Structure 1
Amino acid sequence: MTDKTVLVGNFAHETNTFVTSKTGRDLFKERREYFGDEIPKKLQGTNTQVGGVIDVAENNSVELIHTVAATATPSGLVEADIYEFYCEQILDGVREHAADLDGVMLCLHGAMVPEGLDDGEGPLISSVREIIGEEVPIAVTLDLHGNITDEMVSKSDVLIGFESYPHTDMADTGRTGMRELIRTIQSDIDPVSHIERPPVLAMGPKQNTREGPMADVMAKAREYEERDNIVKVSVFPGFHQADIPSMGWSIPVIADSNSDAAREVSRELAEYIWDRREDFVSDYPEPPEAVAEAKRLAADLDPDDGFVLMADVGDNPGGGGAADGTTVLREMIDQELTNAGFAIVRDPETVAQCVDAGVGERTNVNLGGKTDDFHGDPIADLNVYVKAVTDGEFRNTGPMGTGGENHLGRTVLIECGQDDGVSVIMTENRMQPLDAEIWRHVGIQPERLNVLVVKSTNHYRADYEPMCSTNIPINSIGLVAMDPRKYEFERIPRPQFPLDKMTDEMYPNW
């Protein structure tokens, strides 16, 4: 295929509606904000959706028109004017080039909630459709944690989600979306879709696609794609930190010219998830129990065993957490762990204090717990040793987001606790420490630690699990609590398991 033109827009945000602060342009600039010709220079060859789109376009002689690539670390509602600003970057490009476009590729998230709306993606897709009409196909790629609306499905021709959590397949998803868009442009397929929503909410760690029930669900999805007429089966367990009507599990299926085939597969997979609903709920240790177990295991480690890995799930900045929660770190200090690491604590005030003190100096700080009342109190009058100061700039080297830039702001490595045995990475900006390069850029080889804690839910698994001996997700407090039963929902569909008592008879019988 030659001489085809596709416009690309990338605008992504995972919105935690329980976070009271809003998301402005500064948070997008902090994470990723590129425009026009700058985009391929920054994202080509990276494990991102746009990186994958560029790969396929080059291999198929498709001209790409880049508009914007904007992503912010998950946080509160996107400010209305900022939502409009980024949407207009895409829509202005569509208007300018509408007569020349053979297709539109939108790399979005699926769980964006702007001020005044419940759905950030559906209206954007509809606006693109309004400009280009029904004949020009639209492909949309989304994060696995999208809360998928009917508008997203009906206004796009191809809608595809990540298949892995940790999201190591971002570029692969971009490639798949672009390939299916090209096939639609060439009339090789005539995509039709159907979506079902089983009333099940999965706990955060249970959404891990590498093992357990989620791995089984993904395997079933791939099996269904072997059926005649089935183009793609996407699985979205949803993002339960959003109190909106579309929150929850969704199964959109694309078929080639056969809506009955799409409906049949979507319903079968939804029923399979419903039948496995109990497998998506479990018990996980609270901070005191988890830290005590880590200390016990670390005492028996052999040099080649790998560290004990723990996840401070409740304060995961990758789900909107403040990243300054102290409950787990306080336990590590109180239980006198040594040769241990903790990432991260976002605390600009303490970062500034430590920078002023200087590398090699000691100072007393009030660490963390400054953002809100949901993540624990500050650790008061903590004596720390300032080990290193960096500019917080590094690129991911692990399997998720490989090659992507990180901008932590000023970053300080401190040592504290028993014999200065706990090393803590403090930052000015929030970021999920999913890539182990965050340790190396402050001078620590993570493999040499006995215990390592990261504020993450599942993404950390991709880079850290190959180095660890044991992995312990912690049921810690915070606005990204792993258990949906800890939230007070007012607007989601009910009943939902496990929020409500449900029987087999309560699920739709087709």
Structure 2
Amino acid sequence: MARIAIGGLHHETNSFAPQPATMERFEEADGWPPLSRGAAMLANTAGANLAITGFIDAARAAGHALVPLVWANACPSGPVTRDAFERLAAMMLEDLAAAGPIDALFLDLHGAMVTEHLPDGEGELLRRLRRIAPDLPIVAALDLHANVSEAMVGLSDALVAYRTYPHIDLAATGAKCLPLLERLVAGRPLAKAHRKLDFLIPLPWQCTTIEPARTLYVLLDEVACDGVLSASICMGFPAADTPVAGPSVLVYADDPATAEAVAARLATAFREAEPRFMGRLWRPDEAVRHAQAHAGSRPVILADTQDNPGGGGSSDTTGLLEALIAARAEGAVLALLCDEEAARAAHAAGEGRILRGLALGGRHGPAGVRPVRGDFAVGRLGNGRFTATGPMYGGNRMDLGPMALLRPLAAPGVEIAVSSRRLQAADRAILHHLGVDPAAKRILALKSSVHFRADFEPLADEVLVVEAPGANVADPASLPFRHLPPGLRLRPALS
């Protein structure tokens, strides 16, 4: 039996998003648990689809003793503030130093954190941990969108990334880390190989349920031959303006030759798939017209990808909403629009009342985005506390603050699910909380890039990826990067 310290720090940084990740954002609950320290971590993450939870469950089943340190997450946004990073890192270092003799450390990390003062948040966290525990076996779970740096690889013993986008295997990834850590504790090191790719991939086309990523990830099982202990493909997060940006592959094996050979095979397959990382982006007005003309019995999904809060979007832009209202789209629901002021006004007014002259959304840009002004009927109200039920968020205890379902009088067939905290629309429970049956709608306008597919796509006849204004820009080539590594191309080459 080993004594294993556990902790985590999660943030996916969109360098161009308007809202920074302050300490307050890490302290509050939203779609994920709040900042948790010590025993509170075990209680707050229990039953959730999180890497930390999967590791805890596997380690307990194997009889290991666990020493919880700190776990924290903030919704994707602009860079993490210096204050937040330094306070969180200090907590983890303090708790590790106070943990007494331990045999290993498991970390639940994202891999695409940029702070106000550091280009590689995870690399710096590992560097500080190594200063106080230079020989401690360290294994970390990573997000599929990790921008893996040489520092991260060199300062850890193993990194294991999710294999699905939508991320339905978070807990499973945590569990996969345990055998690697046990091997290290037993004194058997891992050979490692890391290859970076030289092009950015737009988020909508990183989805592992569609090509080319679907076939690329199947290859991970094919290379799981004798001597290969773990293999990962990281797509990278394209909105992080950092010298460590870009996709990569990671392989851990019994010997260096095997690790290098398998990494080379994965990198070659990745490069061959490059021209197929593409798809159509629809204008809001044409997407709404197409959905209205759809004659099927099931909804059409309009993915408002550029306002996806899971990629740093503010979740309050109004481009797609304006198109739905202008077309008087019957049977349409938009989720989630984050506007705390509007939600509180709806609660103050009460169900069935009218909010006159409300300015809804559009508070955080980008340029040209404005609030939708008008009269809105207040439908169902909710406190924003419910348990998610879908494949990705399932088991998570949501806390989105006051929520309201609003209907513009100018287009009463359109419903808007309003929250007080940002969360991408990736779980049907979000709408059920406000009395909406998503299967009964004609149009589901969802502020999400890919995660919605896990729970909502089975309901729909068609999915259209919509290019309405927002901070989670679909085409990285349109972003004003300043810090990318030399030679990194801003989009996949088409041939």
Instruction: Say yes or no: TM over 0.5.
Output: yes
Question: Does structure 2 conserve the Cα–Cα contact (< 8 Å) formed by 1:22 and 1:79?
Answer: yes
Structure 2 residue 318 is the aligned partner of structure 1 residue 318: no
Deviations 1:345-367, CA, capped at 9 Å, x for gaps: 11122223322322111123111
The correspondence for 1:242, drawn from 240, 254, 269, is 240
TM-score with structure 2 length normalisation?
0.95
TM-fit CA distance, 1:124: 1.1
Q: Secondary structure at the match of 1:285?
A: coil
Q: 1:490 to 1:442 in 2, by over 3 A?
A: same
Residue 365 of structure 2 corresponds to residue 372 of structure 1: yes
2:117 aligns with: 116
Q: Give the Å deviation of 1:502.
A: 9.4
Work out which structure has the larger RCO, using CA pairs closer than 8 Å and 6 or more positions apart in sequence: 2
Distance 1:375 1:449, change over 3 A: farther
Alignment match of 2:19 (pick from 18, 21, 29): 21
Question: What residue is the counterpart of 1:64 in the other structure?
Answer: 66
The residue identity in structure 2 corresponding to 1:301 is G
Matches of 1:91 and 1:375 in 2, distance apart? Answer: 44
Is the contact made by 2:366 and 2:471 (CA closer than 8 Å) also made in structure 1? no
- Does the 8 Å CA contact 2:405/2:434 hold for their aligned counterparts? yes
Find out whether 1:264 has 2:261 as its counterpart. Answer: yes
Pick from 69, 84, 87: which aligns with 1:85? 87
Matching residue of 1:106? 107
Contact 1:324 1:375 in 2 (8 A): no
Deviations 1:280-321 (A, max 9, x none): 123321111111111111xx133xxx2111110000001110
Moved more, 38-47 or 489-498: 489-498
Cα separation, 2, equivalents of 1:262 and 1:209: 24
Conserved? CA contact 1:340–1:450, under 8 Å: yes
Residue 499 of structure 1: how far off its partner (Å): 4.3
**Which residue pairs with 2:452 in the alignment?**
460
Give CA-to-partner distance per residue, 1:402-442, whole Å, 9 cap, x none. 21122211111111255511110112211112111010111
2 CA distance for matches of 1:379 and 1:176? 47
Match of 1:192 in 2: 191
| Structure 2 counterparts to residues 44-443 of structure 1, below 5 A | 44-98=46-100, 100-134=101-135, 136-187=136-187, 189-226=188-225, 228-256=226-254, 258-297=255-294, 300-302=295-297, 306-364=298-356, 365-374=358-367, 376-380=369-373, 382-416=374-408, 420-443=412-435
When the two structures are superposed, what TM-score results if normalisation uses the length of structure 1?
0.93
- Counterpart amino acid of residue 110 in structure 1: G
* Distance in 2 (alpha carbons) for counterparts of 1:501 and 1:107: 33
Question: Matches of 2:183 and 2:453 in 1, distance apart?
Answer: 34
Name the CA distance, whole Å, in 2 between partners of 1:239 and 1:289.
28
Question: 1:239-258 CA deviation, whole Å, 9 max, x = no partner?
Answer: 011111111111121112x1
Q: What is the total number of aligned residue pairs between the two structures?
A: 490
1:243 maps to amino acid: D
Secondary structure class of the residue paired with 1:438: helix
- C-alpha distance in 1 between matches for 2:90 and 2:380: 42
Three-state SS of the structure 1 residue aligned to 2:233 is: coil
Give unpaired runs (5+ residues) of structure 2. Answer: none
Identity %: 31
Instruction: Give 3-state SS (helix, strand or coil) of 1:194's partner.
Output: strand
Q: Contact (CA 8 Å) 1:336, 1:417: kept in 2 or not?
A: no
Shift of residue 103, structure 1, vs aligned partner: 0.3
